[in-house]
A and B are shown apart, each in its own frame.
Chain A
């Protein structure tokens, strides 16, 4: 007992001696513990991680103030909102030592031109996951959930992410995300309404439910599907040819961060290929750092969930958060769908 007490005291003492603190506010189950251990060992900075479950939660909490966080990891679609609301500050990323490691594709981007505000964390796609033991037809289509084949009728799950779901439906009817074309919006709504009777649920947690066979097909994220396949080799990921959603989460420095220098050190740290690979191998999504492939485990380098097939690459669509007036259409469609 005395020993435990003593070691607890020593712990507290080293904590107090550490150079600084860093508070990271990130998506749940998304930050590699090895990465944090390595960062702490190298810099002596004490890292605290707090989880959030949606961009809206993160935005509301940070906007309310008094949060004490230094780094946040918003999705690309809402990053411009964070910037516009003055919640972020420029950490001087282009001047950082590891800036050159950001892959060309992820440096010239619409939502943060020149990477002034944010550093790539992970990127992925929203497509469909199918248990091929239940259905072995073509899975590279949104028809899996918008016009389900016989074998999947009544068994499909749709993740309740309003923007992703309506964007996919708009792409399916030949339009694009955030369109203001009411005819297309109506077509998307009709397709969704007609498909809903064939759905079993609108729920999260598909990594487990695809893995244990409870759900044979779902709108899902690629990394989650990858993890599900580790439990059940019949699970496969499809990239809808009508269009699928591509997204990237980005680490950014909060305007009211208290530990600015520590945060900058961390942002530079995660642009190192070896460290970026640690983030990827934990969360099972690709990162945007050149040269990190060589540090990835073999199964990730070749995973069909990570490597987009050449012929389907162009079907991937980046979308920013829709303007408020379009979001009203989205909410109306969503309410109609779930009423």
Chain B
């Protein structure tokens, strides 16, 4: 800790106008993020209403239902393994999406960052093109490509490579393809920012010291661009966890993800408090993941 000199009046007024200028954004965040969150927190502690909504009576029933289930046939109480299965499936899928997006995103980011500066903007622009179209439309486009009578299968059959269509749609592979496709730009952009700042002389130095390509990547490149990796992973992992449309459409809806399960409670399940409690659990999982990742970077930075 260093002692700071008392702020000069100019500094103070600068700070004041800084707060003033950011006030609208902060207010928007406070209302837009905290408001709905508060509603969810309150709902999670209420009784469910008849057919929909909530009753204004305090209850912890929803939290009981998150963790335990009362067997509908003999009333025995057991740990809610269905809920855990669903949550674990979502976490697994998000981890796989993040890993795959990283494996595909790093070479892409490296490629862009090593182009001549005047070309990089064009490549970055190309990466952002998918954002021009609504997610739903892009998901339907993927369906059109991978479905049994779709572009991919017709092409393969036309080439005589396969006899019958490969069932890709409605499999876990389809969900993974869709998720990686959707979230890949979110991985590429932060990685690019990190790689672009990477000092290529470090790589030359590594080679001069007889590091193999693999060693150079693992011991030099990855540690330096770690902040980009962490940022990209967070940007991909967090929305993947709550993903709703992609698993529903491409996975065929046979197995629920946590997002679909929450939707069920607000819709056909008519159990809003449980839906609210599950949303908070999801939030908690995201929070844990974020803390874990930040810890990881901090430790590396300290080393």
Contact = CB atoms under 8 A, between A and B. Distances in A.
A118 to B, nearest CB: 17
A200 B268 CA distance: 22
A334 interface: yes
B253 A335 contact: no
Contacts of B69: 332
A258 to B, nearest CB: 23
A331 B51 CA distance: 13
B268 A331 contact: yes
A101 B67 CA distance: 54
- Which of A202, A334, A338 has the largest number of chain B CB atoms within 10 A? A338
Given A160-B253, A182-B72, A201-B254, A331 B170 contact: no
Interface residues of B, number: 36
Interface string B266-297: 11111100000000000000000000000000
Nearest to B84: A339
A35 interface: no
A73 to B, nearest CB: 18
B72 A185 contact: yes
Given A56-B268, A59-B51, A63-B53, A214 B169 contact: yes
- Which of A163, A324, A329 has the largest number of chain B CB atoms within 10 A? A324
B52 interface: yes
Contacts, number: 97
A321 interface: yes
A185 B51 contact: no
Contacts of B52: 56, 59-60, 63
B264 A339 contact: no
A39 interface: no
A201 B261 CA distance: 16
Contact of B253 (A85, A163, A201, A339): A201
| Contact-residue bracket for chain A | 35 or more
Contacts of B50: 324
A186 B261 contact: no
A32 B167 CA distance: 37
A201 B149 contact: no
Nearest to B89: A339
B73 A185 contact: yes
A135 interface: no
Contact of B72 (A54, A212, A329): A329
B224 interface: no
A339 B254 contact: no
Interface in B54-112: 69, 72-73, 81-83, 85-86
Interface of A: 54, 56-57, 59-60, 63, 78, 81, 85, 157, 160-163, 182, 185-186, 196, 199-203, 212-214, 321, 324, 327-329, 331-336, 338-339
15 contacts: A56-B267, A56-B270, A57-B267, A60-B266, A157-B252, A160-B253, A196-B254, A200-B170, A200-B252, A212-B149, A214-B147, A328-B271, A329-B72, A331-B271, A338-B261
